[in-house]
């Protein structure tokens, strides 16, 4: 096993190095896009949950309950099968017969985004609730409009309070990308599986995938920690 290992993992024509590196790129891209989409859902969800009308609050509540309570893999199926059902119906009624489906990357980003958004909703909501009302009032008293207050006072402070929770949610999103192997996205796990299948070395390739996940998680985690401690500076005495 060791003699061929370098060849197997190299970047030569026989090596799996390049495909694995590309797959790691896909993993990072899917996690990042999903997480960013999740931020939009999260801010929207938090806005709903903090809104005055009861109906809006209920919608926000339903969103977080469903997408935090249902297994992520089911959500992936929902977008995978649901997306193709809707797309095919649309195309067929539009006069294009046949079967259509969304690219697996798009499905993956949507699925991760909606699940991540449900968790981010809670992060943003509880961060907002920690804001000091007096500071918002001080802004109002200085003649700030609602929008200016949001931009200059509310948003920066909410983000800072939410950051530790967002860091955990990012790590989850990163790991969730592995589920996209099930719908055919060639991310790290699927690429490792392909390599494992054709070389009969599952232990090696899954271990490598694990190591890559650890490295990505560690590196981004360290970056987030630094950002967090930088942004927390004003609150230290």
Provide the minimum distance between the beta carbon of 228 and other proteins in the complex, in angstroms, as a whole number. Answer: 14
In the numeric block, which tokens belong to residue 116?
């991540």
Provide the minimum distance between the beta carbon of 87 and other proteins in the complex, in angstroms, as a whole number. Answer: 12
Using the structure block, give the residue that is written with the tokens 């089911």: 74
Task: Find out whether 180 and 76 touch, Cβ atoms under 8 Å.
Answer: yes
Cα angle at 133 between 160 and 62, to 5 degrees? 70
Provide the minimum distance between the beta carbon of 204 and other proteins in the complex, in angstroms, as a whole number. Answer: 8
Question: Quick one: 7 or 137, whose CB is closer to other proteins?
Answer: 137
Question: Quick one: 73 or 102, whose CB is closer to other proteins?
Answer: 73
Using the structure block, give the residue that is written with the tokens 């309950």: 65
Question: Quick one: 13 or 73, whose CB is closer to other proteins?
Answer: 73
Task: Find out whether 154 and 144 touch, Cβ atoms under 8 Å.
Answer: no
Provide the minimum distance between the beta carbon of 218 and other proteins in the complex, in angstroms, as a whole number. Answer: 7
Crossing angle of helices 155-176 and 104-129, in 10° steps, is: 140
Question: Quick one: 52 or 200, whose CB is closer to other proteins?
Answer: 200
Question: Quick one: 12 or 168, whose CB is closer to other proteins?
Answer: 168
Q: Residues 6 or more apart from 135 whose CB is under 8 A from it?
A: 153, 157
Report residue 72 CA to chain centroid gap: 12
- Residues at the site binding other proteins, with contacts judged by CB under 8 A: 65-66, 69-74, 77-78, 81-82, 85, 132, 134-135, 137-145, 148, 152-153, 156-157, 160, 171, 175-179, 181-182, 189, 192-193, 196, 200-203, 206-207, 209-210, 213-214, 217-218, 233-237
In the numeric block, which tokens belong to residue 160?
């800072």
Provide the minimum distance between the beta carbon of 151 and other proteins in the complex, in angstroms, as a whole number. Answer: 9
Question: Quick one: 4 or 12, whose CB is closer to other proteins?
Answer: 4
Question: Quick one: 19 or 82, whose CB is closer to other proteins?
Answer: 82
Provide the minimum distance between the beta carbon of 49 and other proteins in the complex, in angstroms, as a whole number. Answer: 18
* H-only helix segments in 130-201: 133-141, 146-149, 155-176, 188-199
Distance between CA 165 and CA 170 in Å, rounded? 9
In the numeric block, which tokens belong to residue 217?
């998680």
- 3 state DSSP class of 147: helix
Write down how long the chain is: 237
Provide the minimum distance between the beta carbon of 139 and other proteins in the complex, in angstroms, as a whole number. Answer: 7
């Amino acid at each position: 096993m060791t003699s061929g290992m370098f060849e197997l993992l190299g970047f030569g024509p026989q090596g799996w190095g390049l495909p694995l590196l590309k797959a790691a790129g896909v993993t990072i891209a899917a996690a990042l896009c999903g997480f960013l989409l999740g931020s939009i859902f999260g801010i929207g969800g938090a806005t709903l949950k903090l809104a005055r009308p009861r109906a809006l609050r209920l919608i926000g509540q339903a969103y977080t309950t469903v997408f935090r309570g249902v297994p992520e893999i089911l959500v992936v199926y929902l977008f995978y099968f649901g997306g193709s059902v809707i797309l095919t119906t649309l195309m067929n009624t539009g006069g294009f017969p046949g079967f259509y489906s969304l690219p697996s990357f798009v499905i993956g980003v949507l699925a991760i985004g909606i699940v991540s958004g449900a968790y981010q909703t809670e992060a943003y909501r509880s961060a907002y609730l920690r804001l000091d009302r007096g500071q918002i009032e001080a802004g109002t008293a200085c003649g700030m409009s609602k929008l200016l207050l949001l931009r200059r006072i509310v948003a920066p402070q909410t983000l800072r309070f939410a950051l530790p929770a967002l860091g955990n949610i990012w790590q989850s999103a990163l790991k969730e990308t592995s589920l996209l192997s099930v719908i055919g996205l060639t991310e790290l796990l699927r690429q490792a599986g392909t390599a494992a299948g054709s070389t009969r070395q599952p232990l090696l390739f899954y271990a490598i995938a694990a190591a890559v996940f650890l490295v990505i998680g560690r590196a981004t985690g360290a970056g987030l920690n630094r950002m967090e401690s930088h942004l927390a500076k004003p609150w230290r005495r």
